[in-house]
Structure 1
Amino acid sequence: MGSGSLLLSLLLVLVVVNVGVAVNQDGLSLLDARRALAAPDGALADWNARDATPCSWTGVSCDAGVGGGAVTGISLAGLNLTGSFPAALCRLPRVASIDLSDNYIGPNLSSDAVAPCKALRRLDLSMNALVGPLPDALAALPELVYLKLDSNNFSGPIPESFGRFKKLESLSLVYNLLGGEVPPFLGGVSTLRELNLSYNPFVAGPVPAELGNLSALRVLWLAGCNLIGAIPASLGRLGNLTDLDLSTNALTGSIPPEITRLTSVVQIELYNNSLTGPIPVGFGKLAELQGVDLAMNRLNGAIPDDFFEAPKLESVHLYANSLTGPVPESVAKAASLVELRLFANRLNGTLPADLGKNSPLVCVDMSDNSISGEIPPAICDRGELEELLMLDNKLSGRIPDGLGRCRRLRRVRLSNNRLDGDVPAAVWGLPHMSLLELNDNQLTGVISPVIGGAANLSKLVLSNNRLTGSIPPEIGSASKLYELSADGNMLSGPLPGSLGGLEELGRLVLRNNSLSGQLLRGINSWKKLSELNLADNGFTGAIPAELGDLPVLNYLDLSGNRLTGDVPMQLENLKLNQFNVSNNQLSGALPPQYATAAYRSSFLGNPGLCGDNAGLCANSQGGPRSRAGFAWMMRSIFIFAAVVLVAGVAWFYWRYRSFNNSKLSADRSKWSLTSFHKLSFSEYEILDCLDEDNVIGSGASGKVYKAVLSNGEVVAVKKLWGLKKGTDVENGGEGSAADNSFEAEVKTLGKIRHKNIVKLWCSCTHNDTKLLVYEYMPNGSLGDVLHSSKAGLLDWSTRYKIALDAAEGLSYLHHDCVPAIVHRDVKSNNILLDAEFGARVADFGVAKVVEATVRGPKSMSVIAGSCGYIAPEYAYTLRVNEKSDIYSFGVVLLELVTGKPPVDPEFGEKDLVKWVCSTIDQKGVEHVLDSKLDMTFKDEINRVLNIALLCSSSLPINRPAMRRVVKMLQEVRAEATRPRLEKDGKLSPYYYEDTSDQGSSV
């Protein structure tokens, strides 16, 4: 009985164990692997120990052989997994594929963890958080065919063991922190079919000639690898190569003619190097060639006659070189040619007459050359043309009638040529045209009424031609029109009333025409108008008081007309950089704000116009005017006496205050004021407002005061903290943080003129005290409003406007400033809001000018920025470029969409970006959207959310340029743009760059 009872007990134990854990050994190994990872709730919920096999578990693949149940593949990509690489996966004896990409696995990948994976053929750990050296053990895996470790933080040189792979066909290490030179020993891995080392900070070194030994190689991507020297001729031996990318390096010398022996090549990219010499003959013999990009080098000589004879050639980029001679006749026979970009060279001669007749051209850019003759009449015969860019040439003759039948045209830039004749009527009304630029030619005729059909027209530039007739009232139907510039023509008649209804209008420049009649009334729709120039015409009547209600108008020139009446007091509402009403017939007193010497030149040539300053009175001597002048002089004397009295009182008051403010009690004659705009105040008024009662904010760089001036104007004054002298760690010199911040603000804001960047009126300095005077923004910062009880003021339309305004400001810094400016501290607290919640980018205390160098972006020795906004790569590379700002702006967009701050206890250890991504994956989009928003706009909100996620991509190359961000935001209310895909189905890293606006085409 005793032995029977014992046997029964053992059986019961086995039954209990079998009920509790039924899974096979592979399943047990997977459960061990799960313990090394932290998975979001529900991500691996079906990994159940009671299952017989793990073959039905999420991400698990098994063989289909007899008995089955053996795990052969693990795919857990994009599940937001954290933790270390689970070594237990390598205990699976038949596992051939492991994909843990797009997670947060880290920090190390040890040789011990991967060495047991003897059956492994594919390993993908891209887009994780792995650091340290590449493990030697990877090269010892006998079956490994595919190794992808992109977008991590691996550092150090590529280990020599990587030259001993037995079967490896694909090695991709793109976008890590790898050092050393690109190693020649990789040329000994004879099985390689794909080698991608792009975007690593390798030590400057050559393209290893040994790579020419890789006879099976199909893809060679070495973009952004700090390569120097010549392209080795040995690469011409790669007969199976389909893709060659050596772009964005510092390669020199000529393109070796051996490159034209790559008989299988589909794409050649050598752009953005320093290559010299001519383009070799022979490209036309490459039967598979579809795209060639040799742009941004120093190539010279003529384009070879055979260049366009490659039968499948679709895309040619040769821009920004020094190429000469004519465009070869063979271009007209290129049956597959879609994109032709030859701008910024020294090309001359005439274009082939049949260009476009046989080619499905979509984009043609030949700007900034010396091309003469006519625009080929067949340029759009295939009906696919969307962009025709030929500005800055010597083209003559008429604009082809065929362009009027080119219904897909979006952008036409033909400025600064010698074109003449009438513009074909149909061209004015093309439905998709957004930019029509014909300025600086000799065009005649009228602006056709069919312009009312140009539903997408945003920019119409017709300056300096010989156009006649009136501006047709149908132009009011071009509802997206932002700029109308037609100065320097012979236009006549009155302004059509329909112009006043254009809500998007930002620039209206009609100077130097023969326009007449009264200035428009009913212009309340011009909320975006920043420039109005109607000078040198024949306008009559009064200046409309409504101009003073235009919220962003900062350039107003009405000079050289026959305007009468007074200068409306409402114009004092404007903050004008340029103001000119001289040479009219205005009369009466000036508004007090403009009755100063600073505006003397704004009112010349108006004999009846006087201000309170006698120096502004333009009356002649003698008669009634002389007596009026005497009366004016006497009144001025009394006024002057009163001013002296007031000044005396103010001086005594100041002397009293000086006992309480030693910093500002220095001799005022020693204060230095530097103005960046016309000022209606002095430094003394500013100093008198620096009272603690006027403090409205305080931050790391200084204290901010609200200053109400004697003329009623309000400004914001930042008094920088006076720090002791120390080391400027970013530039290696001596200076204080206050000095650095002050210099950065003055160098950037002092020269910037943009409606979406806060205006710096002036700076005041004395010893170690530094003041910066800005325009006052009554609604404070976006961060203060969005993350407070005032958030209800920001409905979706307002948030969308703020996003677009801020994007346009940053786009100006990145693309329109030369050299570009990187803000480095983009955040919601540095986006200020005016009275109507228009946004201005502010606080340039850590901004940097980005100089283009062959060695890439400059590195800083300290991190600038704010918690939750700092791009991940900036934190560990300290590289400064525009992509860092774009990431920070993506966080701001997420704040606008979610209503949440960049960091919050609710997120745990995550920041806003990671919280949004994980929440969307686990619960869906609706769980991240701000509940205060009206969900009737849900589609728009979702599109902005998508833009935000693009901007905040962990991989900088996937972040769109700010110019592209602006366009995507503008298109939010139009049909969403579908991204182009690469061959492997991934988003192309180049898609989001606005290549249509490169170089001379900007």
Structure 2
Amino acid sequence: MKKKLLLILHLFFILLDLTNGFSDLDALLKLKASMAVSPGRGGLDDWEPPRPNSIVSNPHCSFSGVSCDENSRVTSLIISNFALNGSIPPEIGVLNKLVNLTLTFNGLTGELPLEMCNLTEIRFVNFSTNKLTGEFPGEIVAAMTELEVFDVYNNNFSGKLPLEFVKLKNLETLFLGGNFFSGKIPEEYSEFPSLRRLGLQGNALTGRIPSSLSRLSTLEELCLGYFNSYDGGIPPEFGSFKSLKLLDIGGCDLSGEIPESLGNLKMLHTLFLQFNNLTGEIPPDLSGLVSLKSLDLSSNNLTGGIPESFSDLKNLTLLNLFLNHLSGPIPPFIADLPNLEVLQLWTNNFTFSLPENLGSNGKLLILDVDGNHLTGTIPHDLCKGGKLQILVLMVNYFFGPLPENLGRCKSLTKIRIMNNFFNGTIPAGIFNLPELAMLELDNNYFTGELPAAMYSQSLQIVSVSNNRITGIIPPAIGGLVNLTKLLLQSNNLVGVIPEEMFNLKKLYVIDFSGNNLTGEIPASIGSCSDITSLDFSRNELTGEIPRSILSLLTLNVLNVSRNKLTGEIPSKLGHMKSLTHLDLSYNQFSGSVPSDGQLADFNDTIFAGNPNLCLPHTPHCESKSNLNHYSLIKSKLFLSIFIPITTISSILIAFFLIKRKNKIQNSKSWKLTAFQKLDFKAEDVIVCLKDENIIGKGGAGVVYRGSMPNGIDVAIKRLMGRNHGFEAEIQTLGTIKHRNIVRLLGYVCNRDTNLLLYEFMSHGSLGEILHGPKGAHLQWETRHKIAIEAAKGLCYLHHDCSPLIIHRDVKSNNILLDSDYEAHVADFGLAKYLRDAGGSECMSSIAGSYGYIAPEYAYTLKVDEKSDVYSFGVVLLELISGKKPVGEFGDGVDIVRWVRETISEIPQPPETAAVVAVVDCRLKGYVLESVVDMFKIAMMCVEEESTSRPSMREVVHMLTNANVQATCVVTV
């Protein structure tokens, strides 16, 4: 009591000092000065002191956002979205006649000043979407006895939920969501006398949801989900809310079944329970929600079917049931719901066909039933009202032709119907719809020709691959001015590649492979400067590779294999630094393969099937006359110098043997085998095996740094015994060569010991530096670069080696960094050849490192290239979070599980919030979009199902083309 009295006296004297000669005008000018208004944003530009001799009295009452009473006292201050920075000054307490204080969507920081206790007449306070911090000052709340609305949504307040609000008899709206409040929801929150809206979502609340909240008889909106993590389930007592209109408890780890009592909420128009762990069947009693408009039960573990009683939900506009285990047919009454606009049922087990008259209500906007077991034809009336925007039917068993009226549905923005059994011709009008951006018809049985007229200004993606389309590629395709991806592979197309398509300046992926195209590759291809992937393989193309292709500076993939191309390989092709995949095999190229640039980094298989092509170091490339000439010269040289050299050599050898007689006896048994010319000997390696030269130890052996007489440093890995790891390293690294794979120089061995010699990497391994004291210096640009380079190394193993190579031990400690932090994939002791690309091999035991092992490998012992992809995804998560794969998250929890659990409570779309939740706090000045893009790629790589993971070729493409525009730079 004494402490409170002292606080009151302290505030009294502060306020007395502020109000002594301090006017509302002075307070507002101080407010502007404290808030650091961004130049040019307007809004507060007219907040200026009066000029000398000004006849205007009380100028502050005409300031923007300010309202006054008849005594020129400020009663309302509304400043929203003006990019204000800084803090709220103590002088705010001078404005003691304020009724409305609204400072939303700015960048205000710091704590609320205690001088706000003077705002005793305030009724509306709204500070939402700022960066205000600190534990919430309950004294301020207690002083605002007339408060009706208090909104601090989306700030950085922390601590326990304040209890002082409960005593405010007029309080109707309390929004504390989007902060960092922790602990349990107080039982006292069931005692609000007049509360209508309560928002606690997006905090760090725990414990059980109090069932006593159901006593809030005046409550109309209740939001408790997202980032909070509650024990137990939904209190059945919530069915007794008399006035509740909105109930949102999504994404907060709720378990158990949905209470049948919720069907008693007659006033409820929105029920959101998505992203939880709810089980059981959908209660038929929910049909009692006669006012319900939006129902979202997605991403739970619900079973059973859609209750027939839902036919009573005549006001329903949105029905989201995706990502559950629902089964059975989609009931016919779904089509009869008069107001239904959104129906999303994807990733369930629904069977039979879509309701015949679906869409006949004329209001359907979105239909997504991807990944079920549906069959039948597309309902004719889906676009009856001309409002359908998104149609997603992929991965089902639909058949029959597409309705012609889809080509007249001008509202469509996205059509995704791949992996079905559709047939017939594609309605021509689809290519001319004014809003359509994505058209994906892959893996069906469409026939006929592509339409001769295409003039859509909106189409960005056209994918009609793996169908039975015939005819030519129409020149009119050049009219699709915003096209970015054109995929027509595996059809029966004929004719030439039209010149007109290379007028499409935004095009970056073209795939015409597996058709019957003829003619030459147009030289105009060089005008498509943004192309990253070009695949013309498996056609009948003739002529040469146009030199204009060298101007495609972002080209990652070039595949022209299995055509009839002739001429020489362009000499500058090896200088295209972005090229990660190249295939020129099975053509009629001639001449010599350019020896400079990075062509030497690719496997010789990319040139196979070109009998007139001269590869480096192939004998048939030298003419017989040259061979005879060189043979004659060699013979004369041999005769002229053989005898004297033999004599001198004999003397030197004898002298050397005598000189070395007293050396360590077992040094005679050391043998050096080199994979390139080396200017040192086995003895030079052996003398480096000292404890002071050790730079690393692991399960595979000990690594030493060795300084050779020629000044070159090498890394020496010592393996005891002639084990499998030694053989695997030699077998793989001895035969492959790539810039981003560590180079094996050779090996030294004797009867007991094997020493592998590598190029030395001065910055050690990624794992050591990332998780060590130097990790703070590894900033985002370098991490992104390392990710791309390591991906290119793995991409080479998986796609350019024949047979392909599975690394089996991809981890951050096996990615080495040279003096420029360039990444090199290392340690091939567990590597395996995979003879059947796309197949898998069954191992006798698990190999690899804990935290990186793919689920299918751990469970079935089957391994393929997608196992490496999973491990690489873990490396990406390490780069993003700065955390080790295991050991930081509790027993049995690895980094993948930790990330999934961390983001499981985030509502869609989760990427930005997810990155903020897991990003390495040591990163400064990073481009948020770039981190988000890598996060998406990482999560694709660590998918549970191996078939859902991208290939390493796709990973390289995505990383290389990730968003690097600095539209949002995080500087903390």
TM range (shorter): 0.5 to 0.7
Tell me the distance in 2 between the aligned counterparts of 1:571 and 1:725: 37
Preserved CA contact (<8 Å) 1:354 1:378:
yes
User: What is residue 28 of structure 1 aligned with on the other side?
Assistant: 23
User: What is residue 923 of structure 2 aligned with on the other side?
Assistant: 865
The Cα shift of 1:43 comes to 5.6
User: What is residue 834 of structure 2 aligned with on the other side?
Assistant: none
**Which of 34, 41, 59 in structure 2 is aligned with 1:38?**
34
Which shows bigger deviation, 629-638 or 369-378? Answer: 629-638
C-alpha RMSD over aligned residues:
5.3
Which amino acid is the alignment partner of residue 610 of structure 1?
Answer: C
Which amino acid is the alignment partner of residue 455 of structure 1?
Answer: Q
The Cα shift of 1:46 comes to 4.9
User: What is residue 230 of structure 1 aligned with on the other side?
Assistant: 233
User: What is residue 516 of structure 1 aligned with on the other side?
Assistant: 518
Tell me the distance in 1 between the aligned counterparts of 2:372 and 2:58: 69
Tell me the distance in 1 between the aligned counterparts of 2:222 and 2:428: 50
| CA deviation vs aligned residue, 1:691-745 (integer Å, no higher than 9, x gap) | xxxxxxxxxxxxxxxxxxxxxxxxxx9953899989947xxxx997789999997
User: What is residue 604 of structure 1 aligned with on the other side?
Assistant: 608
Preserved CA contact (<8 Å) 1:823 1:848:
no
Question: For residues 419 and 143 of structure 1, do their structure 2 counterparts lie closer, same or farther at Cα, with a shift above 3 Å needed?
Answer: same
Preserved CA contact (<8 Å) 1:337 1:359:
no
Tell me the distance in 1 between the aligned counterparts of 2:25 and 2:633: 93
Tell me the distance in 1 between the aligned counterparts of 2:632 and 2:582: 27
1:664 aligns with 2:667: no
| CA deviation vs aligned residue, 1:743-764 (integer Å, no higher than 9, x gap) | 9975675237999xxxxx9999
Question: For residues 683 and 295 of structure 1, do their structure 2 counterparts lie closer, same or farther at Cα, with a shift above 3 Å needed?
Answer: closer
User: What is residue 791 of structure 2 aligned with on the other side?
Assistant: 751
**Sequence identity of aligned pairs in percent?**
27
TM-score (normalised: structure 2): 0.67
Which amino acid is the alignment partner of residue 502 of structure 1?
Answer: L
User: What is residue 565 of structure 1 aligned with on the other side?
Assistant: 567
Which amino acid is the alignment partner of residue 151 of structure 2?
Answer: K
Tell me the distance in 1 between the aligned counterparts of 2:811 and 2:256: 49
Question: For residues 587 and 99 of structure 1, do their structure 2 counterparts lie closer, same or farther at Cα, with a shift above 3 Å needed?
Answer: closer
Write the mapping of 1:696-715 to structure 2, written as runs, cut at 5 A: none
Which amino acid is the alignment partner of residue 569 of structure 2?
Answer: V
Preserved CA contact (<8 Å) 1:302 1:324:
yes
Preserved CA contact (<8 Å) 1:27 1:53:
no
| CA deviation vs aligned residue, 1:160-212 (integer Å, no higher than 9, x gap) | 3333332211111122221111222211113110111121122x222221111
Preserved CA contact (<8 Å) 1:561 1:584:
yes
User: What is residue 459 of structure 1 aligned with on the other side?
Assistant: 461
Write the mapping of 1:627-666 to structure 2, written as runs, cut at 5 A: 664=713
Preserved CA contact (<8 Å) 1:483 1:508:
yes
Q: Secondary structure at the match of 2:510?
A: strand
Preserved CA contact (<8 Å) 1:349 1:370:
yes
Tell me the distance in 2 between the aligned counterparts of 1:582 and 1:723: 36
Tell me the distance in 2 between the aligned counterparts of 1:492 and 1:724: 52
- Runs of 5+ consecutive residues of structure 2 not aligned to the other structure: 1-17, 38-44, 639-672, 685-705, 720-725, 746-759, 796-800, 802-809, 825-868, 883-894, 907-913, 937-962
Write the mapping of 1:506-905 to structure 2, written as runs, cut at 5 A: 506-575=508-577, 576-593=579-596, 596=600, 598-614=602-618, 664=713, 679=737, 720=763, 728=771, 749-751=789-791, 770-771=818-819, 774=822, 850-853=899-902, 854=904, 863-866=921-924, 882=932
TM-score (normalised: structure 1): 0.65
User: What is residue 302 of structure 1 aligned with on the other side?
Assistant: 305
The Cα shift of 1:581 comes to 2.2
User: What is residue 472 of structure 1 aligned with on the other side?
Assistant: 474
Tell me the distance in 2 between the aligned counterparts of 1:821 and 1:636: 61
Which shows bigger deviation, 578-587 or 189-198? Answer: 578-587
User: What is residue 444 of structure 2 aligned with on the other side?
Assistant: 441
Preserved CA contact (<8 Å) 2:335 2:359:
yes
Tell me the distance in 2 between the aligned counterparts of 1:860 and 1:90: 39
| CA deviation vs aligned residue, 1:25-47 (integer Å, no higher than 9, x gap) | 99736635755762558563257
User: What is residue 368 of structure 1 aligned with on the other side?
Assistant: 371
User: What is residue 148 of structure 2 aligned with on the other side?
Assistant: 145
Tell me the distance in 2 between the aligned counterparts of 1:953 and 1:241: 40
Tell me the distance in 2 between the aligned counterparts of 1:125 and 1:346: 46
Preserved CA contact (<8 Å) 1:172 1:196:
yes
Tell me the distance in 2 between the aligned counterparts of 1:737 and 1:39: 32
Q: Secondary structure at the match of 1:180?
A: strand
| CA deviation vs aligned residue, 1:960-994 (integer Å, no higher than 9, x gap) | xxxxxxxxxxxxxxxxxxxxxxxxxxxxxxxxxxx
**Which of 258, 261, 285 in structure 2 is aligned with 1:258?**
261
User: What is residue 61 of structure 1 aligned with on the other side?
Assistant: 67
Which amino acid is the alignment partner of residue 524 of structure 2?
Answer: G
The Cα shift of 1:659 comes to 8.2
Preserved CA contact (<8 Å) 1:72 1:97:
yes
1:194 aligns with 2:197: yes
Question: For residues 531 and 79 of structure 1, do their structure 2 counterparts lie closer, same or farther at Cα, with a shift above 3 Å needed?
Answer: closer
Tell me the distance in 2 between the aligned counterparts of 1:278 and 1:637: 88
Which amino acid is the alignment partner of residue 612 of structure 2?
Answer: G
Tell me the distance in 1 between the aligned counterparts of 2:437 and 2:793: 24
Tell me the distance in 1 between the aligned counterparts of 2:788 and 2:562: 34
Preserved CA contact (<8 Å) 1:73 1:98:
yes
Which amino acid is the alignment partner of residue 177 of structure 1?
Answer: F
User: What is residue 422 of structure 2 aligned with on the other side?
Assistant: 419
The Cα shift of 1:251 comes to 0.9
The Cα shift of 1:95 comes to 3.6
**Which of 175, 179, 192 in structure 2 is aligned with 1:176?**
179
Tell me the distance in 1 between the aligned counterparts of 2:304 and 2:896: 41
User: What is residue 388 of structure 1 aligned with on the other side?
Assistant: 391
Which amino acid is the alignment partner of residue 763 of structure 2?
Answer: L
The Cα shift of 1:406 comes to 0.9
The Cα shift of 1:63 comes to 3.9
Question: For residues 726 and 447 of structure 1, do their structure 2 counterparts lie closer, same or farther at Cα, with a shift above 3 Å needed?
Answer: closer
User: What is residue 158 of structure 2 aligned with on the other side?
Assistant: 155
Question: For residues 140 and 214 of structure 1, do their structure 2 counterparts lie closer, same or farther at Cα, with a shift above 3 Å needed?
Answer: farther
Preserved CA contact (<8 Å) 1:724 1:736:
no
- Runs of 5+ consecutive residues of structure 1 not aligned to the other structure: 1-22, 620-624, 688-716, 756-760, 777-812, 827-845, 875-879, 887-943, 957-1002
The Cα shift of 1:535 comes to 1.9
Tell me the distance in 1 between the aligned counterparts of 2:79 and 2:22: 15
**Which of 483, 495, 498 in structure 2 is aligned with 1:496?**
498
Q: Secondary structure at the match of 1:568?
A: coil
Question: For residues 436 and 103 of structure 1, do their structure 2 counterparts lie closer, same or farther at Cα, with a shift above 3 Å needed?
Answer: closer
Question: For residues 647 and 362 of structure 1, do their structure 2 counterparts lie closer, same or farther at Cα, with a shift above 3 Å needed?
Answer: closer
The Cα shift of 1:359 comes to 3.1
Question: For residues 349 and 514 of structure 1, do their structure 2 counterparts lie closer, same or farther at Cα, with a shift above 3 Å needed?
Answer: same
Question: For residues 214 and 490 of structure 1, do their structure 2 counterparts lie closer, same or farther at Cα, with a shift above 3 Å needed?
Answer: same
Preserved CA contact (<8 Å) 1:218 1:241:
yes
Question: For residues 289 and 817 of structure 1, do their structure 2 counterparts lie closer, same or farther at Cα, with a shift above 3 Å needed?
Answer: farther
Q: Secondary structure at the match of 1:382?
A: coil
Which shows bigger deviation, 308-317 or 457-466? Answer: 308-317
Which amino acid is the alignment partner of residue 432 of structure 1?
Answer: E
Question: For residues 595 and 570 of structure 1, do their structure 2 counterparts lie closer, same or farther at Cα, with a shift above 3 Å needed?
Answer: closer
| CA deviation vs aligned residue, 1:845-880 (integer Å, no higher than 9, x gap) | x9999545446759679732225x698xx9xxxxx9
Tell me the distance in 1 between the aligned counterparts of 2:192 and 2:177: 18
